[in-house]
C-alpha cells in the first residue's frame, strides 16, 4: 500500500539507497536531514557538507528534503549523559542513546507531524511485525554490518512504524545499487566516531568539556609504574597510550588497563592479554530496556554482546526487580566495561539490553590491593 514515508537522510550512501528503494516500491518518499551539533568547532563537524550531499541525493531521486536541528535535545538527552559517564570513570556508548532519544525519539515524532505514515532509516537491521504481537527487532542479513546492538533501546511502538529497507541487503549490494543508479554518494566512505559530532581528535575534544586529572599508574601490588593523563582517556583492556616502557627485572610483555579507581584517581595495569584481572565471570547491569516492553522471563538463557562487533556470548540472565539484571557467562569474558551495554539475543531476535554497572571477578583474581578498585 502506498504511504508517505519520511527517511532520515544522513548524507551517506545507506540512507540514500534506503530512500531510493522506498520510492521504487511506490511510496511517497520525503527526506529529513537532522543536525544535532552546533557548527562552531574548527571544522570537525561535517553537517554542512553532509546536508549538501543529502540535498544532491534527494534532487537526483526527485524527493523533497526537510531540514531540522535537534542540537538542544542532543545536548540535554545524549551529550550530558556522555560527559557524566566519563566523569564517573565509565565508558559510555552515545550511539545507543542517540538512536533512542534523537532518531527514534524527537526526530521520529517530528516525522509524524510532517505526515509520515512510516519513518525509515538506512540502518542495517530487520523488523518483523504481526497483528497480534509487538514488533520484533532482528539482526541484519549482513552480519558484518548488523546494527541491532545500537537499536536495542528503541521500543516496539516505534519499530512498528519504522522501515529498514537495507535489512535484507549486503553492504556491497547497497554500494552497487548506488553506483548503478547514479547516486552522487555511491563511493562516500562510511562515517565513524561519535554519533553526529563527527570525526575529531577525541582527547582534545573531551578536554574541552572535562578537566584532565593526571594521576598514578600502578600494578595490582601497588607499585608505581608511571602517570596517566586522566582516567577518562582510558578504557578497560586498552593497550595503547600507556607510555610504559620496559622495567628492569620485569617481563617485556605489554601492559593493559585492568581497573580504574576514580576515588583515588588511580589506573591499575597488568601484563598479559588474558590476565585474571581482565577477566569477568559475569556482570550486573542497570536501566534495562526490553523491545517488547518486558523480558521474556524472570530468568532465561540467551546470547549477549558487550560491545559492537563482538561474537555472541552464551549467558544466563536474571531480572532483578524492574531496575537491573544479573548476567552469568558460560565462560569468562575479557575487558567487560562499565558504561557500555549488554545486549541480549535469542537467535536472530534482539530482546533489549542494559547499561553495564559492574563486573563479577573470576574467583581468585582479586588480591588485597585490587579489592577496592572499580
Environment class of 13 (CB within 10 Å of its CB; exposed 0-12, middle 13-18, buried 19+): buried
Strands across the sheet containing 162-163: 65-69, 28-35, 4-8, 118-120, 162-163
Whether 285 and 338 have beta carbons less than 8 Å apart is answered as no
Residues marked as catalytic: 98, 195
The torsion angles phi and psi of 120, rounded to 5 degrees, stand at: -140, 155
Query: How far is the CA of 284 from the CAs of 1, 55, 56, 338, in angstroms?
Result: 45, 45, 47, 9
For residue 30, the surrounding DSSP H or E stretch is: strand 28-35
Nearest to 23 by CA among 58, 70, 50: 58
Write out the H or E segment, with its range, that includes residue 67.
Answer: strand 65-69
The residue count for the chain: 374
- Return phi, psi of residue 21, to 5°: -65, -40
The residues near 75 (Cβ < 8 Å, ≥ 6 apart) are: none
Cα gap 327→185, rounded to integer Å: 43
Q: For residues 44 and 108, give the distance between their C-alpha atoms in angstroms, rounded to a whole number.
A: 26
Locate the DSSP E strands across 76-125. Answer: 118-120
| Secondary structure of residue 231 in the 3-state scheme | helix
C-alpha cell at 278: 581482565
Q: Pick from 280, 286, 227, 265: which is nearest to 373 by CA?
A: 265
As a whole number of angstroms, the distance between CA 297 and CA 89 comes to 32
What SS3 class is residue 158? helix
CA dist 266 and 359 (Å) reads: 18
Amino acid at each position: 500500500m502506498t504511504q508517505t514515508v519520511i527517511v532520515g537522510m544522513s548524507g551517506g550512501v545507506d540512507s540514500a539507497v534506503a530512500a531510493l528503494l522506498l520510492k521504487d516500491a511506490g511510496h511517497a518518499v520525503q527526506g529529513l536531514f537532522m543536525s544535532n551539533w552546533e557548527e562552531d568547532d574548527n571544522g570537525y563537524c561535517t553537517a554542512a557538507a553532509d546536508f549538501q550531499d543529502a540535498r544532491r541525493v534527494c534532487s537526483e531521486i526527485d524527493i523533497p528534503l526537510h531540514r531540522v536541528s535537534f542540537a538542544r535535545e542532543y545536548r540535554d538527552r545524549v551529550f550530558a549523559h556522555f560527559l557524566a559517564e566519563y566523569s564517573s570513570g565509565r565508558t559510555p556508548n552515545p550511539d545507543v542513546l542517540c538512536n533512542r532519544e534523537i532518531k527514534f525519539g524527537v526526530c521520529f515524532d517530528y516525522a509524524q507531524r510532517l505526515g509520515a505514515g512510516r519513518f525509515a532509516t538506512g540502518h542495517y537491521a530487520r523488523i518483523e511485525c504481526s497483528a497480534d504481537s509487538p514488533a520484533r527487532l532482528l539482526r541484519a542479513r549482513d552480519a558484518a554490518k548488523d546494527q541491532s546492538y545500537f537499536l536495542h533501546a528503541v521500543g516496539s511502538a516505534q519499530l512498528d512504524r519504522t522501515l529498514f529497507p537495507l535489512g535484507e541487503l549486503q553492504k556491497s549490494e547497497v554500494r552497487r545499487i548506488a553506483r548503478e543508479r547514479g547516486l552522487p554518494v555511491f563511493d562516500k566512505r562510511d562515517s565513524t566516531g561519535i554519533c553526529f559530532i563527527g570525526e575529531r581528535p577525541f582527547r582534545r575534544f573531551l578536554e574541552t568539556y572535562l578537566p584532565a586529572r593526571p594521576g598514578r599508574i600502578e600494578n595490582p601490588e601497588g607499585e608505581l609504574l608511571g602517570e596517566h593523563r586522566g582516567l577518562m582517556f582510558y578504557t578497560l583492556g586498552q593497550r595503547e597510550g600507556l607510555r610504559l616502557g620496559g622495567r628492569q627485572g620485569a617481563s617485556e610483555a605489554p601492559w593493559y588497563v585492568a581497573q580504574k579507581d576514580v576515588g583515588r584517581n588511580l589506573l591499575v595495569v597488568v601484563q598479559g592479554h588474558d590476565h585474571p584481572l581482565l577477566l569477568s565471570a559475569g556482570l550486573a547491569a542497570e536501566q534495562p530496556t526490553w523491545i517488547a516492553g518486558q523480558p521474556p522471563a524472570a530468568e532465561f538463557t540467551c546470547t549477549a554482546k558487550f560491545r559492537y562487533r563482538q561474537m555472541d556470548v552464551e549467558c544466563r540472565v536474571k531480572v532483578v526487580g524492574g531496575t537491573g539484571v544479573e548476567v552469568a557467562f558460560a565462560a569468562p569474558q575479557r575487558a567487560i566495561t562499565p558504561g557500555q551495554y549488554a545486549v541480549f539475543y535469542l537467535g536472530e531476535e534482539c530482546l533489549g539490553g542494559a547499561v553495564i554497572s559492574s563486573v563479577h571477578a573470576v574467583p581468585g583474581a582479586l588480591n588485597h590491593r585490587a579489592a577496592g578498585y572499580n
